[in-house]
Amino acid sequence: MFSVLRIALLALRRNLLRSFLTMLGIIVGISAVIVGVSMGTGAKAEVDKRIASMGQNLLTVLSGNMSRGGVRGGFGMAPNLSVEDYEAVRREVSGISAASPEARTSAQVAAGNQNTFIQVSGVSEEYILARSWGLKSGANFTGADVRGASKICLVGATSAKTLFGEGIDPVGQVIRIKNAPFTVVGWLEAKGSGSFGQDQDDILLVPYTSVMKRLSGDTKFRSIFVQAESPDSIADVQQQVTELLRRRHKIADGRDDDFMVRNQQETSDFFNANNRIMTVLIGFFAGISLVVGGIGIMNIMLVSVTERTREIGIRLAVGARGRDVLMQFLTEAVLLSVLGGALGIATGYWLAPLLTRLFEFPTLISQTSVILAFSVSAVIGIVFGFFPALKAANLDPIDALRYE
């Protein structure tokens, strides 16, 4: 076996340039597989990371239902989750560790001589617990603040920087939201961008009652966040919330929900659907280039068999069996494709981080894709090398010896 490999290596080395050009098809194909799959898994990992950063064991109740491809309203639908809905969820559903509605509005806010246009989120005192957000200084507001619609707020890192300057603790300062003065009680830690790519730190959190009564005048929420006590209770909580809201919204059996409860897995699937399509597409094109590469190997091996007819004749004359000759040429073909595969994997390892650096596209090379790519290249060698090898093995020794 070792000597067969050595002979194959020598044969390939004799035509170094030709061997390399033959491998090129496989190199391109395999590196495309590696990079393509790494883009898919990279994007998925990024989505998962951002979704995990939303908080642990989080369920999101959204008004409207876009589970049917998002055509039936979705975000465009009017908010239909009431304060009573939220309170009922908090009161009646068991296994919840934290819950908060979100009443969003955007507003021009000012502090001193600085002002900015940002998102103001009206939430309960449990919101930052549910989202696992930390405070750099100050304290969270309380249930009493929520009930009393207090004019106090928590300020995000980016907003604090814009309004008060870099590194200055904003706690105790006053921010005017639509000319109403809100006192800063807490400074949120920086979190980076969220699952939609927006800056999660450019935000003001105020009690939802304050938003509804003093700022937007809304009476309904677009969303409610619910945190389950443990990963095991997520499904149960999801079930309870769905049943409770159907009852409260008086939805008859058999009718669709007018809201949607999504867990993080579903959110992740939703965003990953596009990634999957992309991965399949890239895989398809990589597959085509692998087939073309395989045909290239077959072509060169056929040329090689013709060129070396005399050598084959000599080997047959001194006692090589057809199988020996078959093995020799098959080994050469597999060596070509496997070396091409290895170089392709190396190229992929080099290209994927480059892609991330140049286009900020997340990539992650998975071990599975490397093993898969390597096996595929070996299979290509066997499949496309077999016919030329068989042709060599079936040569007539007399004709082969006479071949000029």
Partner 1 sequence: MPAVVQLIDFRKTYRTGEIEVQAVRGVNLTIEKGEFVAIMGSSGSGKSTMMNTIGCLDRPTEGKCLIDGVETGSLGRNELAELRNRKLGFVFQGFNLLSRTTALENVELPMMYARPRPTASEQSKRATEALTLVGLGKRLDHTPSRLSGGQQQRVAIARALVNRPTLLLADEPTGNLDSRTSIEIMGIFQKLNDEGMTVVMVTHELDIANYCKRVVVMRDGLIRSDTAVTSRFIAVEELQKLEAEQKAVQLTA
- The residue from 1, 3, 179, 358 that contacts partner 1 (CB under 8 A) is 3
- For residue 100, give the nearest of 138, 64, 141, 136 by alpha carbon: 141
- For residue 270, give the nearest of 37, 102, 75 by alpha carbon: 75
Interactions with partner 1, residue window 324-343 (CB under 8 A): 324
Q: Distance between CA 251 and CA 258 in Å, rounded?
A: 8
Interface with partner 1 includes 401 (CB under 8 A)?
A: yes
- The residue from 323, 359, 360, 367 that contacts partner 1 (CB under 8 A) is 323
Interface with partner 1 includes 310 (CB under 8 A)?
A: yes
Interface with partner 1 includes 320 (CB under 8 A)?
A: yes
Interface with partner 1 includes 355 (CB under 8 A)?
A: no
Interface with partner 1 includes 18 (CB under 8 A)?
A: no
Interface with partner 1 includes 16 (CB under 8 A)?
A: no
Interface with partner 1 includes 73 (CB under 8 A)?
A: no
Interface with partner 1 includes 280 (CB under 8 A)?
A: no
Closest approach, Cβ 397 to partner 1, in A, equals: 5
Q: Which is nearer to partner 1, 144 or 317 (CB)?
A: 317
Q: Distance between CA 106 and CA 104 in Å, rounded?
A: 7
Rg (CA), the chain: 32
- The residue from 29, 64, 186, 313 that contacts partner 1 (CB under 8 A) is 313
Q: Which is nearer to partner 1, 87 or 307 (CB)?
A: 307
Q: Residue 283 is which amino acid?
A: G
Are the C-beta atoms of residues 273 and 70 closer than 8 Å to each other?
Answer: no
Cα distances (Å, whole numbers) of residue 371 to 281, 284, 297, 363, 366:
20, 18, 21, 17, 9
Q: Distance between CA 105 and CA 205 in Å, rounded?
A: 11
Segment interacting with partner 1, rule: CB under 8 A, options 93-101, 261-269, 290-298, 310-318: 310-318
Closest approach, Cβ 396 to partner 1, in A, equals: 8
Q: Which is nearer to partner 1, 250 or 323 (CB)?
A: 323
- The residue from 16, 17, 319, 360 that contacts partner 1 (CB under 8 A) is 319
- The residue from 1, 16, 252, 318 that contacts partner 1 (CB under 8 A) is 318
* Total of chain residues touching partner 1, rule CB under 8 A: 19
Segment interacting with partner 1, rule: CB under 8 A, options 101-109, 123-131, 308-316, 366-374: 308-316
Q: Which residue has the tokens 């090898």?
A: 389
Interface with partner 1 includes 9 (CB under 8 A)?
A: no
Q: Distance between CA 89 and CA 99 in Å, rounded?
A: 8
- The residue from 44, 131, 222, 315 that contacts partner 1 (CB under 8 A) is 315
Q: Which residue has the tokens 């999504």?
A: 262
Work out the number of other CB atoms within 10 angstroms of the CB of residue 88. 16
Helices (H), 308-321: 309-317
Interface with partner 1 includes 314 (CB under 8 A)?
A: yes
Residue 199 is given by DSSP the state: B
3-state helix, strand, coil in the chain (%, to 5): 55, 20, 25
DSSP letters along 229-293, please? SSGGGHHHHHHHHHHHHHHHTTPPTTSPPSEEEEEHHHHHHHHHHHHHHHHHHHHHHHHHHHHHH
Segment interacting with partner 1, rule: CB under 8 A, options 23-31, 47-55, 214-222, 314-322: 314-322
Interface with partner 1 includes 316 (CB under 8 A)?
A: yes
Q: Distance between CA 294 and CA 337 in Å, rounded?
A: 8
Segment interacting with partner 1, rule: CB under 8 A, options 101-109, 177-185, 196-204, 318-326: 318-326
Are the C-beta atoms of residues 202 and 212 closer than 8 Å to each other?
Answer: no
- The residue from 317, 353, 357, 375 that contacts partner 1 (CB under 8 A) is 317
Q: Footprint of partner 1 on this chain (CB under 8 A)? A: 3, 14, 310-311, 313-324, 397-398, 401
